[in-house]
Amino acid sequence: MAFKQRVFSGVQPTGNLHLGNYLGAIKRFVELQQSYDCIYCVVDMHAITVPVNVWGGPKELVRATREVTAAYIACGIDPKQHIVFNQCQVSGHAELAWVFNCVARMGWLGRMTQFKEKAGKDRENASVGLFAYPALMAADILLYRATHVPVGEDQKQHLELSRDIAQKFNNDFAVSIRERGFGDAFFPQPEPLIQGPATRVMSLRDGSKKMSKSDASDQSRINLTDDADAIALKVRRAKTDPDPLPHEEKALEARPEADNLVGIYAALADITKAEVLAQFGGAQFSAFKPALSDLLVAKLSPITAEMRRLKDDTAYIDSVLADGSARAQALAAETMKAVKDIVGFVRR
């Protein structure tokens, strides 16, 4: 069966949106609007999977939900042409996640590196929601039978799990799916879209760790709300090695911090790493870093200014989310009716 091509992705309303979220995810979301129908979600139900003191409590969740929505729009997502909404306003996410909790196997979820990293040593004390996170993520995508999912490299494993869940659902209910006229498969196999020079932006303090909202050190990341001075200071302090930049991309493989800064430059300038090195090969970091700061400020400051303006207009932001939720709900309702029939849940 041919599925309608559709993009779905999300960002959690937790902590500070950073350059990794922008280059790995939101910038790609904007580009994909040209070629697909897109649904972009603020995944508030995912946000509460960590302890309440980490996600910050009700007031912080409201603030961060509006901030991510403002960031989507400030970066160039068109909420009229596409759909922007927050997850909890469409109940199908939770309903389908329950069905998927019963399709996914403990062993599959137990292998997820995000769970291992976020749960840390004290796994007994992690929430059930953190363990089941990938089943909810599969539900987010498949509720809209989305075919393409732009994400950063860190979400590759979860996307593979979404594909496994879709496949197992299609197999477990194959007879019912066929009887209801859906052919061989009710759910598509969603394709991850992980492309470009910045699919995994690393911490500015440690080239072996990804830049993350949850990193305790603010120096580790460029926030989308940082001003020009903060950006310049963080780039100046970013960890590097003492050698000049190489001429060949291959030589970056053994130099994670240099590779990271070159990748950031390439993604912001919309060129390849090789093209960055053609320009800066042989240069010292003392010359490259100011050029990188200038580029960051030039690209991010219009976004930051627009985010700040939009964030204060809470009536507008909430109306975008309400309108998007209503349109998402209409699509989700169709899927949930079919899923209930396929599974054998009697319904009105």
Q: Let me know if 156 is a catalytic residue.
A: no
CB of 164 to ligand ATP, least distance (A): 19
Our CB check for ligand ATP shows the closer of 90 and 267 to be 267
Q: Let me know if 213 is a catalytic residue.
A: yes
Span of 81-89, 149-157, 250-258, 334-342 interacting with ligand ATP by CB under 6 A: 149-157
Our CB check for ligand ATP shows the closer of 91 and 195 to be 195
Q: How many binding residues for ligand ATP (CB under 6 A)? A: 19
Q: Residues 6 or more apart from 236 whose CB is under 8 A from it?
A: 289, 293
Our CB check for ligand ATP shows the closer of 99 and 226 to be 226
Check residue 134 for interaction with ligand ATP (CB under 6 A).
no
**CA–CA distance, 307 with 206 (Å, rounded to integer):** 28
Amino acid at 261: L
Q: Let me know if 340 is a catalytic residue.
A: no
Which residue has 């599959």 as its token pair?
A: 108
Per-residue contact track with ligand ATP, 16 to 35, x per CB under 6 A?
----xx--xx----------
**CA–CA distance, 293 with 154 (Å, rounded to integer):** 25
Our CB check for ligand ATP shows the closer of 25 and 139 to be 25
Which residue has 């993350």 as its token pair?
A: 212
Check residue 136 for interaction with ligand ATP (CB under 6 A).
no
Regarding beta strands 191-193 and 148-150, do their DSSP bridges make them parallel or antiparallel, or are they unpaired?
parallel
Q: Output the CA torsion sign for 242, 289, 260, 115.
A: positive
Check residue 113 for interaction with ligand ATP (CB under 6 A).
no
**Contacts of ligand ATP in 194-223 (CB under 6 A):** 199-201, 210-214
CA 51 to chain CA centroid, nearest Å: 20
Query: What is the helix (H) or strand (E) element at residue 226, kind and residue range?
Result: none
**CA–CA distance, 127 with 138 (Å, rounded to integer):** 18
SS3 244: coil
Question: Given 27, 210, 234, 311, which residue is catalytic?
Answer: 210
Question: Given 168, 213, 239, 340, which residue is catalytic?
Answer: 213
Tokens standing for residue 30: 């904007």
**CA–CA distance, 209 with 234 (Å, rounded to integer):** 16
Question: Given 118, 156, 337, 340, which residue is catalytic?
Answer: 118
Residue ranges that bind ligand ATP, judged by CB under 6 A? 11-12, 14, 20-21, 24-25, 151-152, 154-155, 199-201, 210-214
Residues annotated catalytic, as ranges: 118, 210, 213
